Amino acid sequence: QVQLVESGGGLVQPGGSLRLSCAASGFTSDYSYIGWFRQAPGKEREGLSCISIRSGDGSTYYADSVKGRFTISRDNAKNTVYLQMNSLTPEDTAVYYCATAPSPSVMLLPSEYDYWGQGTQVTVSS
């Protein structure tokens, strides 16, 4: 059974940084990508970034809205994917989720992802 557990959310001031973690377990070789998404109240779930977890392939993808501010990375030894978030603004306030997909045809489309974590709240406020 695939399980994803997010952590690292919290309250941060504008301009601050947070690093989110996504601990994964129960994977099979069918699943090749882990992505980060967020959903703010009243808004649709938004794809932010994803990374290949295949051995020897570190391909990454970013949404324009976070390119240059967010960085995705992985630690295969720990089965963990990270999302480093810098220069945060109140518009980044949302619940952040990680999810996994076999081989998404559209890299950051939520419907391409099968298994989801429970989410972690990020609040950017002074």
SS (H, E, C) 27-88: CCCCCCEEEEEEECCCCCCEEEEEEECCCCCCCEEECCCCECCEEEEEEHHHCEEEEEECCC
Rounded CA separation 125/18 (Å): 13
Rounded CA separation 91/62 (Å): 17
pLDDT tens per residue across span 5-57: 999 999 999 999 999 999 999 977 788 999 999 999 999 999 999 999 988 88
pLDDT tens per residue across span 78-111: 999 999 999 999 999 999 999 999 888 889 999 9
